[in-house]
Amino acid sequence: MNVTLVIDDVARALGLKYIFNEYFDIQVVCMADVASVESADDAAALYVTTADKFCRYSDFFIPRRGRTMVIGDGDDMLDLRQTETGLVEQLRGRIESHRRKSHGGGVPELSQREVDVLRLVAMGYINKEIADMLDISFNTVLSHRKNITAKLGIRSVSGLGVYALMNGIVAESDLNR
């Protein structure tokens, strides 16, 4: 397995490279921009980038969303503001999850209606607005949100928004309503 870091911050990149090398014996390539990554072989098992770069280069990262870790402080993001042990454990979990997905496991499927609700949640609509837009009851929206949270393990609206963006459920342009 190898990892490509697409990060402007040299200190972050070097720190992550050290952790991947020392704790996981994983080869790391550091690149400052997506153009460099696109011109290289697309052989990276995992990409690590910032939320800003993910959004800026969504055309590149969305098709690779299953292989991309985004640095940030939201749910389902790689949080660099924690202890070394915490960061290593979070990376270990991500790496093991990626390996399981590569061998057949994966994220539970959402129903089409759950995807519709998730899309509207990510776009910033409140439950009442979602109910009106989808012509369903308020309680049905709550049930769908509960199911989405249970299936994905993501509780916050910001985390759901990042998940929706990374999985192509919404586009960056949809988030500016």
Domain boundaries in the chain? 2-102, 112-175
With a CB cutoff of 8 Å and minimum separation 6, the contacts of 63 are none
Backbone angles phi, psi at 79, to 5 degrees: -90, 110
Task: Look at domain 2-102 and name its CATH class.
Answer: alpha beta
Task: Examine the pLDDT at 155 and tell me if it is beyond 60.
Answer: yes
pTM summary value: 0.59
For residue 11, give the nearest of 80, 58, 82 by alpha carbon.
80
d(CA 163, CA 33): 22
CB atoms within 10 A of CB 113: 15
Average pLDDT, the chain: 84
Task: Examine the pLDDT at 14 and tell me if it is beyond 60.
Answer: yes
d(CA 20, CA 111): 36
For residue 129, give the nearest of 139, 142, 118, 138 by alpha carbon.
138
How is domain 112-175 classified at the CATH fold level? Arc Repressor Mutant, subunit A (1.10.10)
Query: pLDDT tens digits, residue range 52-77?
Result: 888 888 888 887 877 889 998 877 78
